[in-house]
A and B are shown apart, each in its own frame.
Chain A
Amino acid sequence: MTDPDRSLWIARLGYAGLALVLLAAPLLPLSTVPRPFATPDILLAVTLAWAARRPDTLPVAMVAATFLLADFLFQRPPGLFAALVIVATEGLRRRSARLRRGPFLAEWVAVGVAMAVVLLGHRLGLAALMTPRAPLGLTLIQVIMTIAAYPIVALLAHVALGLRRPAQGEVDTLGHRL
């Protein structure tokens, strides 16, 4: 196996491992009391950070598998949230080349729009299917908290996992532009 292949697989496995941890963490039976606020959806933030920064290390199949599993584990209608996340990551993937030339603020805005599309689209989808929904306030809190958490997630991913935006003109060992 050649070297760039290995680093690609390390990045992929890094995402898979992180996703697994983020799937298990909310399942910890620490408190079964209903909370008056909603926590940010960190798994979504991490996935979108990956899609905006290193889409080459984020296969669609992995996103699909992760979020389908999340739908099953978190008692959501299976498929709807996953489909929305795939649409959002594909959109960011297409824009990622342009995003890395712009400032971080532009990336934040693009990712924030994608988050709002996923979380509010999920709610709209539930409304269209006439399924019971959580109070609107909780969903809005979750959207705002997730968008607010994005810079922290991006910073941690940058520092801890080396998930940085490739510099302009950076190439891999085969001479392909990243």
Chain B
Amino acid sequence: MARERTHGEEFARPLRRLLVTLLVLAFVALTLAWRIDNPRVERLRARVVDEVVPRLDWAMAPVTAAVGIAQDFRSYQRLRDQNRDLRRELRQVSAWREAALRLEQENAKLRDLNNVSLDPQLTFITGTVMADSGSPFRQSVLLNVGQRDGITDGWPTMDDLGLVGRVSGVGRRTARVILLTDTSSRIPVTIQPSGQRAILAGDNTLYPLLDFLEDRDAVRPGDRVVTSGDGGLFPADLLVGRVAEGTDGRLRLRLAADYERLEFVRVLRSPLVESIEDVGGLIVPAGGVPRRDPALVQGPPPPPLAATASADPATPTEVAGD
């Protein structure tokens, strides 16, 4: 009577093997499709994430909150030291506050004289961080705002201080933000006060690299780094962080945004959006590379047409890939 149940009936075995082979082949085909037509499969991914993660939220939110409380509780043990540090900081800050108020008044006066109005185009939507990337190899977060809130691919995101990342992948009620620390993140930045341009390249560490610097000697640790607005990627003058020198002597960036605890993130409604819709658009935009008025562009003259399209380092060519 004893039969191998796992091996089943005689006729079922080859059939099962055939089905498993077909399944594996279908999965490999899906991977190839992802490689060939990345934007379409990434949209599919955004839809799947959009369906699944908000449903898990009822279970994930309490666990996250509980761990947060435990971490807060641990910090209570250092309360006395913290209190002393905060008092000292407060003294410094009140001095700064005086200076800031004075400058603000001066600024307002000057604006009034020049009749300047602040850029009304940069409004923002605030979202809550819902989920992590789930992989040690990817640095991204999932926000609880999406298409229905008007989020568009490519918009910059900030916390209350500095740049956090770039929206990449929008579902109906979720949006994924690729953090500046991700290996596929490339952001054009300007270093103040020297005005040097550079590319901020994430490399899966907390301190992204400053790459493609023209003159390294003009940059010192502690310099302020803001977005440059090059390539129409981000609006200019968003604070990113401060220059720091790594142990290997390379220039890195200490991010202004608090990556330890990302909770609320602002998505800026940027008028400059470069979206990737289909495969062709990845290499050359449908209408060719947009010509900008040379009078408006500062810096070196643009390279010839074909070269800008294929070698633009600011365009992330991969949306995902472990």
Which of A's residues lie within 8 Å of B, judged by CB? 20, 23-24, 26-39, 55-56, 60, 64, 68-69, 72-83, 86-87, 90, 93, 96-97, 122, 125-126, 129, 131-135, 138, 142, 171-172, 175-178
Contacts and interface: CB of A to CB of B under 8 A. Distances in A.
Given A60-B23, A76-B322, A125 B31 contact: yes
B204 A134 contact: yes
B141 A32 contact: yes
Contacts of B3: 176-177
A73 B31 contact: no
Contact of B20 (A56, A60, A68, A82): A60
Contacts of B45: 72, 75, 78
Given A29-B141, A31-B260, A55-B6, A72 B322 contact: no
B24 A33 contact: no
A50 to B, nearest CB: 13
A67 to B, nearest CB: 9
Contacts of A129: 31-32, 35
Contacts of A36: 205
A20 to B, nearest CB: 8
A111 B7 CA distance: 21
Contact of A56 (B6, B135, B137): B6
A60 B26 CA distance: 14
B187 interface: no
B24 A86 contact: yes
Contacts of A30: 64, 67-68, 132
Contacts, number: 176
Interface in B263-306: none
A141 to B, nearest CB: 9
B49 A74 contact: no
Interface of B is mostly: mixed
B136 to A, nearest CB: 4
A143 B237 CA distance: 43
Interface string B56-68: 1001100110011
Contact of B34 (A77, A83, A134, A138): A77
Contacts of A26: 132, 134-135
Contact of A29 (B24, B48, B132, B136): B132
Contacts of B130: 29
B256 interface: no
19 contacts: A20-B56, A24-B60, A27-B142, A28-B67, A31-B132, A32-B179, A32-B259, A32-B260, A34-B136, A77-B35, A78-B30, A78-B45, A79-B26, A83-B28, A83-B31, A126-B321, A134-B137, A135-B204, A175-B2
A75 B322 contact: yes
A34 B52 contact: no
Nearest to B47: A72
A74 B6 contact: no
Nearest to B319: A75
Interface in B116-130: 129-130
